Amino acid sequence: MQWNKLVPELVVADITKSLHFWTSLLGFQVAYDRPDEGFAYLDLDGAQIMLEQRDPRSGQWLTGILEAPLGRGINFQIEVGAVGPIIQRLTGAGWPLFRPCAEAWYRAGTVEVGQRQFLVQDPDGYLIRLAEYLGERPL
């Protein structure tokens, strides 16, 4: 497995709930974990993220008080092969979408890049944008 040069690490309230969301609903695999430390390193076709159980006694690198929803002001875009199966799993689990699935085209130099995307919040409120690549078109 190749490790990415940038891998976000999210502090979570309940590692079990978070692992269920990230693996069973979004489709990530556990690359490795340290259950005794409440830590898991996840991968989905090269998209990688770390989850760490909040533990006020452990000296975690927290810059302020954690208040829900966590991650305000950031969203994590994750490119996937197809958004449909993920939406089906979320819907089947009764998990609400933050924004419904829609097609979006973004200017990138002399072309537009398209993606089918939706947004969902994880159990701690981190905002996740899952996107299926649709290709490019001229401006």
CATH architecture of residue range(s) 9-54+72-138 = Roll (3.10)
Q: How far apart are the first and last CA of the chain?
A: 37
d(CA 83, CA 98): 14
The number of angstroms, rounded, from the C-alpha of 10 to the middle of its chain's C-alpha atoms is: 10
Contact between 81 and 43 (Cβ < 8 Å): no
Residue whose tokens read 């001229």: 138
d(CA 123, CA 21): 7
Please give the model's pTM, rounded to 2 decimal places.
0.92
CA distance 93 to 127: 18
pLDDT tens, position by position, 69-114: 999 999 999 999 999 999 999 999 999 999 999 999 999 999 999 9
